Structure 1
Amino acid sequence: MGIIRKQSITSTLFIYIGFAIGAINTLLFTGKYFTEAQYGLTRELFDLSTTFFALSNLGGISILYRFYPYYRDRLPLQERDLFTKMLMLSLSGYIVIGILAYVFQGFIGQYFIVNSPLLVHYLYTVYPMTLFYLLFSMLEAQAWNHFSSIAANFFKELGLRLLTTVLIALYIFKWIDFNQFIIAYSFLYGIIFLGLLFYLYRKGQISLTFKTSKITRRMYKKMMPFASFVFFASLFTMLARNFDGFIISSVLSLTQTGIFNFANYLTSLMEGPQRGLVSVSVVVIAQAWKDKDMERIASIYRKTALNMLLFAGFLFGLVLLNLHAAFEVFHIKASFLQGEMVLVFLGLTKMVELGTGVNAQIIATSRYWRVDFISTVSLLLMLIPLNYILIRHFGITGSAMATLIAYFFFNLVRYIFIWVKFDMQPFTWRNGAVLVILAVNFFIVRLLVDVSNPLLDIACKSALFTGLNAAVLLSLHISEDANKLWSMGLEKVKAIISRS
């Protein structure tokens, strides 16, 4: 876990700095400068572009992750043709999907024109957003395959949010109008794509070659069926993640979409450890499958499940403890509090997802990758009716309830499959202990601290919740990685003090 721990810590640091900047952006979006519908529009445009991206890449990005270790081990960079071929495949897919989307845009728009006319008006901006998201994702895969996930995460998590901040500032100071804002917003991925391209070129980690290598000639028969299944699996995964927003926009309104997405953003804070760990783990797991190193995969599975549960649960507790006070401190529109129960259900969903570790990556990089497709299709088939039924009865809260139910069974199926097929399961007494400790400390803080000043209330609750959890979890040595991180921090502090 050495390389995973080192790179995931640095990546997670970038991710949370990005989250801090993203929090500022969200506060500006949810304050007096934008309406709920305008904020909802930015999120729906992104959701549509990620769905078009899933259609466009035709499984090429997953092929890069799955098969690149064979090229990396056996060919010099200049002869590795996999990246070039997957780039050509994905761009071909984008052209086809772009043409089809243009032809059927009237059909797509009719589902949103009544409740979300703003989305229909700016539907054209999805095309550049999808293209640059696709190109950046190709480079991101190349970076991960060369163990440069830190650079990719820097541009994606930090650079993109800084650019968004600049764009918001231009709009607030009236140097651009909302129309120009949305157009520029659709090109932000283009800027970070150029940044990562320059980085990989300078590092000598990217090369284009149109000559077919012997490895491609030998393995393309395995790649094609893999690409077909992954294409549909990726599509259904994107639909599963974005389907709630599409239904809310069409059945309710962009205003409700904005409120839902605000709650969704708050729970996305819990994903920081996952993004850092997955970006490093997926390459290591793919290599371990190639080397038939089952113990390494099992170790990654256990440690990621424990660490992601710990950090996600801790952050979820902090968000719930400080939610109302944060609305007062940052002057967030009270209308966004309608999503409080959405926040609870989506937060529990994240706990389920993160607490089951890198099960998706283990299955997707194994010879049973078809299971990834089957389970994802099942997830979507469960989400569609649940969303429609529960949204009509409970509004946006119903959508969050549907998400929790569907993802619980989705991850349960994957957990059982890995356990039965590979004799691996990630849970020990430590996972249960984490849940108990976090829950007990949450209710202790909630009962003991109630300060009238909202800023002071946030400070006291956060400090006590952090202190209690650190004291108990570290003293019991629940997480090896958490204790090592704590020891590294103490050593650095001691070194600074000794030099002063």
Structure 2
Amino acid sequence: MGLVLNQSLKNTILTYIGFGIGAVNTIYLYPFFLGATYYALNNYILSAAAIIMPLLAFGMQNTLVKFFSQCRNDKEEDQFLSFAVLVPMLLSIPLLLICLIFYNDISAYLSKVNPIVKDFLWLIPFIGLCMAYFEIFYAWARVQMHSVFGNFIKEVGLRLFSLIALVGVYYNWISAIDFIYVTAVIYFIAFLATMFYAFYLKKPNFQLSVPHNSKDILVYTFFIILSGGVATLLLDIDKLMLNQYIKIENIAYYSVATYIALVISVPSRAMHQIVYPITAKLMHEEKHDELNDLYKKTSINLQIVGGYVMLCIFVNISQLYEMIPKEYGGGILVVFMIGLSKYFDLILGNNNAIIFNTKYYRAVLFLGVVLVLLTVVLNMIFIPMYGIIGSAFATLLSITLYSLAKLMFVVKRLHLYPFTNQTLYSIGLTFILFVLFYFWQFPLNPIIGIILKSILVSIAYVYLNYKFVISIQINEVIDNLLKKLNIVR
């Protein structure tokens, strides 16, 4: 766990810095500088790009991680890396041509309720392609066990440049419309930076030959496209469907709420970057006991860290929304529903990494396709009835069912189980502290009130988790920190 803890800690710190910048952007700069309409338009474009990204990447970002460890020499590594970069490029060309041919029909359908989106739809495939190749070259770096730089670009760089662009809107250096185009440029720069870093780690020696295990790679890649599509659709389809039923400004209100809830998933995102290749290696070497131990450790550690983040968000949510324009206030219930879905997914540890590195992953992916269809149907039912609250409920139900299905698959098929008694203790502690702290607040400035309540929650949460030894690894980290500070010996 040394390498995992080291890079996970760095990734977590970077990710939270990025989310801190993103919080400033989301809670203040976007609503006040950009306005609800263009903020919603920007989110709609990025969500649509994220949905087509797995298809444009052809699943190679995950395929790289799974199969790179099976390369036996430098020549095979060069063949595989070349294959991973060139195949998505070749396959993207006909897809983009199809979009171009049917552009008028597609744009007419997507802009039926909100005509403002029509002139910007061409940015979706451009940004999607940048996202795709960013992920491919990020995976290139990760298989070399270097995950921090890509994580910095993804979590900090993108948001920092967006902040600078938003300041530019405020000072009239650029217009709100210009900001949409600047966002596309930012994603292009992120792709280039990650590509050059990947080439720095391992100099490319591109070859046109096909890897010896190309059949296995292509079959796996096909299902990874389904997997990536399912995961992204479950995350972003709600924003696209909101555009089809209600005014585009509601996407802005929904985006603020979902962004706040997504902070809960940061520890999982950070740890996943380094745990994924380690999981692939353990499964390839058939080390079942070590894998089961890693599964339990990632589950309880993510539950404690993620539970702390969720608790701080939930108990402070009312005061947090006092800092946002009043029209955004309907998103509080969205935060709770999306937050709970993220928390449940979080406590499954490296569940996804296990599934995507087993021969049984296909069945779960097909189940995911069914759940995407369920999400679409639920959104069609609940958005017209309840607006953004209906969309959040549809997402909560769909993601929870999908996470439960993946958990049952790993338990039944692989005989791996992430939960222990500590899992129940952690849930109990989190719930008790939520009840104690949610129903009162400091009658002060919202920022001061949030800080004071968060301090009290932090002290209580850390003390109780440490006292009851919910996680041995986290207790060891605290003990080492106390020793360095000369508080204990």
On whether the aligned pair clears a TM of 0.5, the verdict is yes
Q: Which amino acid aligns with 1:281?
A: V
Over 3 Å counting, the alpha-carbon distance change for 1:81 and 1:492 in structure 2 is farther
Who is 1:208 aligned against? 205
Gaps of 5+ in 2: none
Who is 2:368 aligned against? 376
Q: What does the per-residue CA deviation read over 1:102-133, in whole Å, with 9 as the maximum and x for residues that have no partner?
A: 22222322333232222222111123212211
CA distance in 2, matches of 1:398, 1:421: 35
Q: Which amino acid aligns with 1:43?
A: N
Q: Which amino acid aligns with 2:297?
A: K
How far 1:158 sits from its partner (Å)? 1.1
**Relative to structure 2, which stretch is displaced further, 374-383 or 107-116?**
107-116
Over 3 Å counting, the alpha-carbon distance change for 1:445 and 1:225 in structure 2 is same
CA distance in 1, matches of 2:135, 2:155: 13
For the pair 1:98 / 2:96, whether they are aligned, the reply is yes
For the pair 1:355 / 2:347, whether they are aligned, the reply is yes
Over 3 Å counting, the alpha-carbon distance change for 1:481 and 1:104 in structure 2 is farther
**TM-score relative to the length of structure 1:** 0.93
1:428 to 420, 433, 445: 420
How far 1:206 sits from its partner (Å)? 4.0
How far 1:480 sits from its partner (Å)? 2.0
CA distance in 2, matches of 1:259, 1:78: 49
User: Partner of 2:122: helix, strand, or coil?
Assistant: helix
Q: What does the per-residue CA deviation read over 1:57-93, in whole Å, with 9 as the maximum and x for residues that have no partner?
A: 222222212111112xx21278522121111111122
CA distance in 1, matches of 2:181, 2:75: 37
CA distance in 2, matches of 1:270, 1:345: 12
CA contact (8 A) 1:52 1:97 kept: no
Q: Which amino acid aligns with 1:275?
A: R
For the pair 1:138 / 2:130, whether they are aligned, the reply is no
How far 1:211 sits from its partner (Å)? 5.2
Identity rate, percent: 23
Q: Which amino acid aligns with 2:259?
A: Y
Who is 2:295 aligned against? 301
Q: What does the per-residue CA deviation read over 1:373-406, in whole Å, with 9 as the maximum and x for residues that have no partner?
A: 2121122122111111121222111111111111
CA distance in 2, matches of 1:481, 1:192: 34
For the pair 1:224 / 2:218, whether they are aligned, the reply is yes
Over 3 Å counting, the alpha-carbon distance change for 1:174 and 1:453 in structure 2 is closer
Q: Which amino acid aligns with 1:132?
A: C
**TM-score relative to the length of structure 2:** 0.95
1:314 to 308, 328, 331: 308
Who is 2:324 aligned against? 332
Q: What does the per-residue CA deviation read over 1:263-311, in whole Å, with 9 as the maximum and x for residues that have no partner?
A: 1100111111011111111100111111111122212211222122222
Q: Which amino acid aligns with 1:184?
A: V
How far 1:157 sits from its partner (Å)? 0.8
Q: Which amino acid aligns with 1:250?
A: Q
1:105-144 equivalences in 2 (<5 Å): 105-144=103-142
Q: What does the per-residue CA deviation read over 1:228-278, in whole Å, with 9 as the maximum and x for residues that have no partner?
A: 222233223322222111111110121111111111100111111011111
**Relative to structure 2, which stretch is displaced further, 486-495 or 173-182?**
486-495
1:1-400 equivalences in 2 (<5 Å): 1-71=1-71, 74-76=72-74, 79-202=77-200, 204-210=201-207, 212=209, 216-217=211-212, 219-328=213-322, 331-400=323-392
Over 3 Å counting, the alpha-carbon distance change for 1:59 and 1:447 in structure 2 is closer
CA distance in 1, matches of 2:127, 2:365: 26
User: Partner of 1:187: helix, strand, or coil?
Assistant: helix
CA distance in 1, matches of 2:439, 2:240: 39
**Relative to structure 2, which stretch is displaced further, 461-470 or 371-380?**
371-380
CA contact (8 A) 1:360 1:372 kept: no
How far 1:7 sits from its partner (Å)? 0.9
CA distance in 2, matches of 1:33, 1:77: 52
1:462 to 454, 457, 464: 454
CA distance in 2, matches of 1:48, 1:433: 40
**Relative to structure 2, which stretch is displaced further, 444-453 or 402-411?**
444-453
CA contact (8 A) 2:34 2:169 kept: no
Q: What does the per-residue CA deviation read over 1:161-212, in whole Å, with 9 as the maximum and x for residues that have no partner?
A: 111111111121111112221111112122122222333333x324232053
User: Partner of 1:80: helix, strand, or coil?
Assistant: helix
Q: How many pairs align?
A: 489
CA contact (8 A) 1:53 1:94 kept: no
Q: Which amino acid aligns with 1:425?
A: Y
User: Partner of 1:432: helix, strand, or coil?
Assistant: helix
Over 3 Å counting, the alpha-carbon distance change for 1:472 and 1:77 in structure 2 is farther
User: Partner of 2:70: helix, strand, or coil?
Assistant: helix
**Relative to structure 2, which stretch is displaced further, 53-62 or 152-161?**
53-62
Over 3 Å counting, the alpha-carbon distance change for 1:86 and 1:310 in structure 2 is same
1:472-491 equivalences in 2 (<5 Å): 472-491=464-483
Q: What does the per-residue CA deviation read over 1:1-55, in whole Å, with 9 as the maximum and x for residues that have no partner?
A: 2211111011000000111111111134443222212111111111111122122
CA distance in 2, matches of 1:78, 1:229: 23
CA distance in 2, matches of 1:272, 1:414: 20
Q: Which amino acid aligns with 1:65?
A: V
CA distance in 1, matches of 2:6, 2:80: 28
